[in-house]
Amino acid sequence: MAEAAKILPDMEKEDLRILMAIEIGMKRSEYVTVNNIKFYSRYPIEETLFRLKKVHKWNLIVRDSSKSEVGYTLNSIGYDVLGLHTLVEKKIISQLGPLIGKGKESDVYGCMDDSKNIFALKIYRIGRTSFKNIKKLRSFQGDRKHISWLYVNRLAAKKEFEALGEIYKLKLDTPKPIDFNRHIIVMSYLRGKELAYSQNIKKPSKVFNKIIKQIKEIYQNANMIHGDLGEFNIVLDHKDNILIIDWLQWVPSDHPNAKSLLERDIENVCNFFKKKYHVESDPYEIIQSFYNK
């Protein structure tokens, strides 16, 4: 993402339009022929070739000359440029900050808008390591044989953004969704650390109860289960404020695996607080209380 943010100010709108033409073509095939890029951009061939050369030099696209017609595809930096550009144009953000988190499937950065408000910016990178991790997104795949990384990451961002919107209605400690574009989500930011790396929580049982209470409210009022809850998906600041993050894999409470996922979520939180902070709890009792409204 840092690469994309660095290149973006030097780009002309014609360069961006060439990237967008490739993006459109990628809906049909991984590599897009020069002829199709020309067609989608509506530029004459000379302009098309000139811009292709330029963005290729910037390392935003990959060339395939093994077929009879030369083709191009966006690489992840090229896709980052498009997402970032749109968010900047919409005045959602104006500056990218430091990397604050790196997961298996995403990178998270700090970012700022014109009024110096700070947000978290999450970029999906599913398929970066391998497509094996794609399990979470099987439901998107349907009958498609070929699913492109671009499509998967765009859908992941959309899915998490929508989930954040649903939960945010309950006004609990979950990120406020600000906007999303392509594979990027912008949301409210809590300056802190993952619970796993917390040093000394002042009142551990208070934090524990707050987390359980909120997970219960989300379950009872939004019918949603986190599905990957634990000390790595809860951010904590120095005042013991929390933020329950990372909602891509949420499942509805009538999902076939709802019960076991909910149990695992609760047990994770109980075990963490027991081990690290000696907070005693009975996960079974807690889960039962979820079912009794």
Ligand X SMILES: Nc1ncnc2c1ncn2[C@@H]1O[C@H](COP(=O)(O)OP(=O)(O)OP(=O)(O)O)[C@@H](O)[C@H]1O
Which of 15, 138, 133 shows the shortest CA–CA distance to 78?
15
DSSP state letter for 97: E
d(CA 278, CA 271): 9
Helix residue spans in 186-254 (DSSP H): 204-222
Q: CA triplet 106, 109, 112: central angle to 5 degrees?
A: 145
Closer residue to ligand X in complex, CB, 11/120:
120
CB of residue 137 vs Mg ion: minimum separation in angstroms?
16
Instruction: Tell me if 231 contacts ligand X by CB under 6 A.
Output: no
Closer residue to ligand X in complex, CB, 92/187:
187
Residue 62 to residues 42, 56, 70, 87, Cα–Cα distance (Å): 21, 7, 11, 24
Contact track, ligand X, 167-186, x by CB under 6 A: --------x-----------
Q: Residue with structure tokens 């599905």?
A: 227
Instruction: Tell me if 243 contacts ligand X by CB under 6 A.
Output: yes
Closer residue to ligand X in complex, CB, 48/198:
198
| Interface pick for Mg ion out of 73, 174, 181, 233 (rule CB under 5 A) | 233
Which of 124, 127, 151, 129 shows the shortest CA–CA distance to 26?
151
Instruction: Tell me if 101 contacts ligand X by CB under 6 A.
Output: yes
Number of helical (H) and strand (E) elements in the chain, helices listed first = 10, 13
Instruction: Tell me if 160 contacts Mg ion by CB under 5 A.
Output: no
d(CA 172, CA 217): 9
Closer residue to ligand X in complex, CB, 41/233:
233
Residue 30 to residues 60, 101, 126, 156, 159, Cα–Cα distance (Å): 15, 30, 16, 19, 23
116 close to 108: Cβ distance less than 8 angstroms: no
Instruction: Tell me if 248 contacts ligand X by CB under 6 A.
Output: yes
Active site (annotated) includes residue 80: no
Q: Which range binds Mg ion by CB under 5 A, 97-105, 111-119, 132-140, 189-197?
A: 97-105
d(CA 277, CA 155): 38
| Interface pick for ligand X out of 134, 232, 240, 258 (rule CB under 6 A) | 232
**108 bridge partner residues:** 101, 122
Closer residue to ligand X in complex, CB, 31/189:
189
Q: Which residue is nearest to ligand X (CB)?
A: 103
Instruction: Tell me if 106 contacts ligand X by CB under 6 A.
Output: yes
Instruction: Tell me if 246 contacts Mg ion by CB under 5 A.
Output: yes
Instruction: Tell me if 153 contacts ligand X by CB under 6 A.
Output: no
Site for ligand X in 189-228 (CB under 6 A): 189-190, 194, 228
Instruction: Tell me if 97 contacts ligand X by CB under 6 A.
Output: no
**244 bridge partner residues:** 234
Choosing from 114, 228, 246, 254, which is the catalytic residue?
A: 228
Contact partner at residue 189 from Mg ion, ligand X, none, CB < 5 to 8 Å by partner kind: ligand X
Instruction: Report, as residue numbers or ranges, the catalytic residues.
Output: 228
- Contacts with Mg ion, residue ranges (CB under 5 A): 103, 233, 246
- Contacts with ligand X, residue ranges (CB under 6 A): 100-101, 103-106, 108, 120, 122, 175, 187, 189-190, 194, 228, 232-233, 235, 243, 245-246, 248
